[in-house]
Amino acid sequence: MTELLQQVRIIDPVSETDQIADVLIADGYISSVAESISDISADTQIRDCRGLILGSGLVDLYSHSGEPGFEERETISSLLQAAAAGGFTRINILPDTSPPIDNPSVVTHLLQNRRGGDKGDSSSPASPAPPAPHLPLLHLWGAITQDFAGKQMTEFADLAASGVIGFADGEGLENLGLVRRVLEYLQPLGKPIAFWCCDRLLMSNGVMREGQDSIRLGLPGNPAISETAAIASLLELVAAIGTPVHIMRVSTARSVELIANAKSQGLPVTASTTWMHLLLDTKVIKSYNTSLRLEPPLGNASDLKALRAGVRMGIVDAIAIDHTPHTYEEKVQAFAEALPGAIGLELALPLLWQYLVESGEFTALELWKALSNRPAECLGQKMSAIAPNKKAELTLFNPQESWKVNSENLYTLSSNTPWLGQQLTGRVVQTWC
């Protein structure tokens, strides 16, 4: 199949170009990129793309699947469909399934069954984004510890051989002796290692970031030091051992400072924050909407400002989605009792574009870098430039299309988002991968 995208705005973070041109795609490859393309075959599908944006495919560093164990929240199939509808061409799943991804048999099962069941014909989105011709490439994070108990390491070599992308629990590891051994044992394997830095003792029963807003709202505060103390400890271990690490879910201004200092000293560290931490701060929690109950919690205004600056400067390398589906019953609780997390695969690009690019705070290239090639680099991967003879791993985005967020318009099986029922501007038209 040959397609000609006419006068599309190309955002290419690899070559750092932002231009308007024609793009010819044939049999999964980019055939030509030029100011105007007229030499095409008779069967070429021509699309007028004025006002649309073509960028390299988006990469999500970490999200959660309900399958296996909690298929009522999400299946692998529905997750991949949601990712494709959100513009993602690569997605990486955390190992907190049931059973967890802590042995090769679970890895094999998930990769072999990744196209199994979805919503079914009766409950598919009523007016979804047009389906992508290919679902995203699925990768799995292997668990660092068995059952996330933080006491016994998994069989790293066996998991690595089974095809996991890297190792991460997605839970805070507080046993520094164990973390040291993990860094030593994993160093020869050369796989990415991701840690969520959180000291549960310092966090205590906190459910939102500690500060004036937590006092005003009467909710237990989670102090910033529960994150920063854990990051500082991890960075000391990295300095001593030298194993590269990725720091997940960065959420405080002080964390950005610590990571900047570590990078300036040459430590092999990358970092990511989540998309919602770049959009919202503690003030929105006055609604007590349980979809705003996150781990780590939303930051104060100063945290939000520092995170945005950190992403623009590359101190925080990537924006992760951390898509965390929950059922209606799991979220209809008191704020402090609700399970933490929110969905985001189908919402992140439109909202980030609206809040950050349309406002003029980020350039289109700055946002696309943090969602595409830089997350790939954190995993030791590369994205291709949007250029002739390169594979077509692309996202076509309409920044002007309006649509309503509801269960009928989403591929994900869950609807735990503070934007439920709201009208959004911006939607993915198609992906190639």
- Domains in the chain: boundaries: 56-385
pLDDT < 50: residue spans in the chain:
116-123, 127, 129-132
Mean predicted lDDT score pLDDT of the chain: 94
At 121 the pLDDT is 42
Instruction: Look up residue 130 and give its amino acid.
Output: P
Among left, alpha and beta (phi > 0; psi -120 to 50; other), residue 16 is left
By annotation, the residues acting in catalysis are 322
At 125 the pLDDT is 58
At 267 the pLDDT is 98
**What would the pLDDT profile of 312-329 be if each residue is shown by its tens digit?**
999 999 999 999 999 999
* 316/43 Cα distance (integer angstroms): 45
CB within 8 Å of 233: residues ≥ 6 apart? 176, 179, 197
**DSSP at 291:** G
At 98 the pLDDT is 94
**What would the pLDDT profile of 357-399 be if each residue is shown by its tens digit?**
999 999 999 999 999 999 999 999 999 999 999 999 999 999 9
At 114 the pLDDT is 64
CATH 3.40.640.10 fits 56-385, yes or no: no
